[in-house]
Structure 1
Amino acid sequence: MENNKISLMDAYMIETLRSNGLSNEEMVALLEKKNISDLKQINTKFDFNNLINLYEQDKDTFKSVLQDGYTVKFLTMNGLKNLLQMKFDKDAEKDYEISDTGIQRLEIETHKLPALQQLLSINWIIEEQNDTDIDSSKKIVNIQIV
């Protein structure tokens, strides 16, 4: 199956709703009802009409985005940092180092690595580090722009 591709702003909206406790099913129900007021209570800065439009274009694909994951069409460095915080609760300088070419020494749970790999647009690559001091449930990775 080909990755579902969405915009960075759509990813921000989805991850903001998730971080505020909405399940995939609740998100779909609100979008189905076009219930913008409930969504605006979570974040007033987003135009959730865009998310409704994405949902209405192809409901099955949107549900797959929520269930199976997505790739951001074009991901900037700031976009990557924001999604690392929103989706994986990873903060710059605390959980990883920033370099001119990307992210260094990000420690991530092994089971979350596929979601991170899927998320990245084609202008990013992940390099796993061999670190014997870390337990097998975690990986140390660098994320580099190409």
Structure 2
Amino acid sequence: MSTEVKLSQSTAIRLEQARTKGMSDADILKAIQANDVAAFDAVSEEDYRYDEFLSYAADHGENLEVAVQDGYRITFNTRGGLGIYLEKAFGVVAEKDFAVGEGIITGLKLKPEQAEVLAERLASNWVITESKDVPEGKVLTLKLRALV
């Protein structure tokens, strides 16, 4: 990625929710290019709707097309938002696949390729402080940068 695309945590959560719920990158790109919010109706959830997904991204200079095609970095992760993002992006479940504490996430089990994607997308206010290889992949510890 030559120019890193930045997405808000909210935009990133919605993008990953669309992917997880079965929208292909091609379908997402088609909806973005057509400015078709209704294309996301099938992947919308009560707490994560798409009503302002495209307009918010446009208003805040978030290049969704490049983010879908080449990746992105989240601008800022809150503790709770990071937990939700991990669930949407990687299909893991808080308190089952990882534990969330004050400024720390421990025991996060991901496949090696998922750990690489997380390292590319994680906001700079968080860091991966530990990565342990296990037969299933990696077990990560994430900490708020301010606590490292």
Please confirm whether the aligned pair reaches a TM-score higher than 0.5, indicating the same fold: yes
* Residue of structure 2 aligned with 1:99, choices 98, 101, 112: 101
Closer, same or farther: CA 129–30 of 1 in aligned 2, 3 Å = closer
Q: Which moved more, 1:86-95 or 1:34-43?
A: 34-43
Letter in 1 for 2:72: Y
TM-score, normalised to structure 1, is 0.83
Letter in 2 for 1:5: K
Deviation track 1:23-47 (CA, whole Å, cap 9, x = no partner) reads 1111111222232223234316524
2:144 aligned partner: 145
Distance of 1:2 and 1:37 partners within structure 2: 30
Runs of 4+ in 1 over 4 A off after TM superposition: 55-59
Q: What is the CA-CA distance between 1:58 and the residue it aligns to?
A: 7.4
Letter in 1 for 2:34: K
Letter in 2 for 1:43: S
Unaligned runs of 5+ residues in structure 1 are: none
1:50 aligned partner: 53
2:32 aligned partner: 31
Distance of 2:53 and 2:67 partners within structure 1: 15
Unaligned runs of 5+ residues in structure 2 are: none
Between the two proteins, the alignment pairs up a number of residues equal to 142
Distance of 1:138 and 1:12 partners within structure 2: 23
Distance of 2:78 and 2:56 partners within structure 1: 24
Distance of 1:52 and 1:24 partners within structure 2: 19
**Conserved 8 A contact 2:6-2:74:** yes
- Superposed, which structure 2 residues align to 1:10-25 within 5 Å? 10-25=11-26
Q: Indicate the percent of aligned positions where both proteins have the same amino acid.
A: 23
Letter in 2 for 1:33: A
**Conserved 8 A contact 1:31-1:55:** no
Deviation track 1:28-73 (CA, whole Å, cap 9, x = no partner) reads 11222232223234316524443256369879x4322112221111
1:90 aligned partner: 92
Letter in 2 for 1:115: V
Distance of 2:45 and 2:83 partners within structure 1: 21
TM-score, normalised to structure 2, is 0.82
Larger Rg: 1
SS at match of 1:98: strand
Closer, same or farther: CA 72–129 of 1 in aligned 2, 3 Å = closer
